[in-house]
Amino acid sequence: MKIDTSLNMPQLPEALSQAGLQFTVATEEDFDEIMAMSQDIYGGLDYLPTRYTSWLQDTNRTVILARKHGKVIALESVCVIDDGETMLVEGLRVAPQERGKGVAGVLLRFCSELVKSRYPEVKVCRLTRDDQLGPKDFEKYRIITKQGILLMRFRAEDLKLHLSEFGLEGDNESTLSAFCSSPPPVRLDHTAIQQLYLNSDLMHGVLPNATIIQDWQPFKLLPSNMAILLKKEIDWMVDDMSNPTVASLCTFPFRVPIGDDWYYLNIDVFGKDLALARQQFLYHLQRHTATLKGHVMCQMFLDPPLWKAMAEFCHNTLSVELVKEYTEQCVVECDVI
Ligand SMILES: CC(C)(COP(=O)(O)OP(=O)(O)OC[C@H]1O[C@@H](n2cnc3c(N)ncnc32)[C@H](O)[C@@H]1OP(=O)(O)O)[C@@H](O)C(=O)NCCC(=O)NCCS
């Protein structure tokens, strides 16, 4: 979805037009103002600085700003996926001094009106929430799935040392497979991904609700979604092509603005087998930290019952620092009416 910045406004419900906000499509020039209101977001793990330019260029996506007296006070991004049926909202943020006044609600309703006016076939809105949802939220939302969030940090050089103590150093996959009793996982190329995820129903038992959740974004198993996913720099793995039990997606490390030389790795693991999940995690770590120097924040999303054992493994065996206790994210949807 791409609309020009002059933004033909949809007819707004009265409550929205009374909120005294102006809405515009974000441009490159707005970057500094957006960053100025984003400083405390996600404990420094804000992905927007890295993604902003590509979000603006993404033909599926529109980044909307709310302004008050011309000044940017909130941002939300909307993306139409699932063959045009789903509006995905991401990146929501409100300037600290404007929080708690209903701005997020107004912006979300504006985005919904905008998408409906341009994409009448959109039926549902999907989003991911990692805050505490209450009964009022569940009147509005249906849960697609829940994932445990395991957030850890380490210095790439230290992790490599620990991996080497276990014979996991470098890119020597045979030593790694010696540590893990199962055969090595299979890294998938584009053809194998299409074959497994689209041309068979083998992944239905592995993925929650037949949904690929990558970096908070839920995608149904459709060719149009796969085209979006395959443009991203991601490593895809399964334990076994012909009978998969566990699958994982790992982003290539990207910089985050916590400080100099801080990188972020996002790993989504699907499936319920701890040993296989751990094995794929180790393969991703080995591959993506081999040439890295500096600090790494690694966020793993996994089936909630696996969280505790995985956290103990990370802390006790890999000696990485766990940044927080158990938290979870809910992928939810509501009807667009
Ligand atoms: C979370 C945040 C955007 C809320 O902004 P706010 O203007 O204070 O929120 P409001 O006063 O409008 O109140 C809440 C409304 O936003 C919705 N909301 C709150 N957090 C939300 C989220 N993460 N995603 C989508 N909707 C959210 C609430 O459900 C409610 O909707 P309703 O009006 O339909 O009931 C704001 O506190 C913020 O910028 N926090 C830091 C960034 C952040 O955590 N963003 C969450 C991204 S997942």
145-173 confidence digits (pLDDT tens)? 999 999 999 999 999 888 877 665 555 55
Do 93 and 169 reside in the same domain of the chain? no
Q: What's the pLDDT score for residue 59? A: 85
Q: What parts of the chain have a pLDDT lower than 50?
A: 1-6, 174-175, 178
Task: Please tell me whether residues 166 and 308 are part of one structural domain.
Answer: yes
Q: List the domain range (segments joined by +) for residue 110.
A: 14-122
pLDDT value of position 202: 95
Residue 58 counted as domain residue: yes
Do 284 and 206 share a structural domain? yes
Q: Which helix or strand (DSSP H or E) is residue 300 part of?
A: strand 295-302
Q: Residue 203 Cα, ligand 1 centroid: separation in angstroms?
A: 33
Q: Are residues 240 and 306 in the same domain?
A: yes
Kindly state whether residue 232 falls inside one of the protein's structural domains.
yes
- Indicate whether 267 and 174 sit together in one domain: yes
Q: Is 222 in the pocket of ligand 1 (CB under 6 A)?
A: no
Q: How far apart are CA 201 and CA 203, in angstroms?
A: 5
Q: What is the pLDDT of residue 5?
A: 47
Instruction: Give the per-residue pLDDT at 116.
Output: 92
Contact 256, 250 (CB under 8 A): no
Q: Give me the percent of the chain exceeding a pLDDT of 70.
A: 89
pLDDT of residue 215: 86
Are 150 and 200 contained in the same domain?
yes
Are residues 183 and 310 both part of a single domain? yes
**Cα of 236 from ligand 1 centre, angstroms:** 32
Residues 185 and 238 in one domain: yes
Question: What is the pLDDT of the chain when averaged over all its residues?
Answer: 89
User: What's the whole-model pTM score?
Assistant: 0.89
- pLDDT given at position 168: 58
Q: What is the pLDDT of residue 248?
A: 98
The tally of domains found in the chain comes to 2
Distance CA 226, CA 91 (A): 21
Q: Whose CA is nearest to atom 42 of ligand 1?
A: 93
Token pair, residue 309, equals 């054992």
Closest CA to 33 of 10, 8, 63, 3: 63
Q: Note whether 91 and 192 are same-domain residues.
A: no
Task: State whether the beta carbon of 75 lies less than 6 angstroms from ligand 1.
Answer: no
Nearest CA to ligand 1 atom 1: 93
Pocket lining: 93 vs ligand 1, CB cutoff 6 Å:
yes
Tens of pLDDT along 69-89?
999 999 999 999 999 999 999
Tell me the CATH number at 217: 3.40.630
Cα 104 to middle of ligand 1, angstroms: 5
> Which of 122, 154, 175 lies at the terminal end of a domain, its last residue?
122
